Amino acid sequence: MTDKIDYNNPLQGVGLKQMLTEIVDHYGFPILFAYLNINCFKNNPSIAASVKFLKKTEWARHKVEVFYLYQYKNLPKVSSEQFALPPRERIVPAHQKPREPAVLSLEDAEIQNEKRAKKVALRDQNTGARRGSSKAYNERRNAGFGKSRSSDPWKSDKKSSSSTSNGPGSAADPWGNWKGGGD
């Protein structure tokens, strides 16, 4: 009478180290860095160091798990409801089986990264049009903030006291009196 859900997820029962070893043996660290853009695959890469980083960093681990599912295991894309879930919690339909790993190259990764860069540049260009996000708007808003006021009673008092002192506590060194310039 229990409703057991068959997740049919290739990540079930596969540890992080085993998963990483499989994809590194098949693709290598340069391709992993090119596609995932995670520095643990670029700077002095090793399985142990990458596992240590991925255990501590959830977003990077999810990125590697998605790569494992949809590039290495070559599963079809998921629905929007399943996409919202973390990779280990996704339910893969029973008729979808892992296929041969996708053929990846550094040239394809470069093209993919150029497309991403164009999307980011377009998004950044569009955000500048919003009110309050531009540098010019902030400069106009803060234009009168730092100006001195002639009616400020403290300004005139400070000017007269600092201009009359001629010792180690001069205006150039505000801590001069504290350093032992006065008795």
Over residues 110-125, the pLDDT tens digits come to 999 999 999 988 888 8
Over residues 127-163, the pLDDT tens digits come to 765 555 567 666 777 776 655 555 655 655 555 555 5
pLDDT at 51: 96
Over residues 78-89, the pLDDT tens digits come to 888 888 999 999
pLDDT at 65: 95
- Provide CB contacts within 8 A for 88, sequence distance 6+: 9, 11, 12, 65
Lookup result for tokens 């290495």: 72
Nearest to 36 by CA among 70, 57, 63: 63
pLDDT at 79: 87
Task: Please give the backbone phi and psi of residue 34, each rounded to the nearest 5 degrees, phi first.
Answer: -65, -40
pLDDT at 180: 66
**Mean pLDDT confidence for 46-74:** 95
pLDDT at residue 45 is higher than 60: yes
Question: CATH classification of 16-124, choosing from 3.40.50.300, 1.10.720.30, 1.10.3720.10, 2.40.10.120?
Answer: 1.10.720.30
pLDDT at 1: 47
Pairwise CA distance, residues 48 & 57, whole Å: 14
pLDDT at 49: 95
**Which one is predicted more confidently, 173 or 16?**
16
Nearest to 138 by CA among 148, 152, 128: 128
By the 8 A CB rule, do 54 and 16 touch? yes
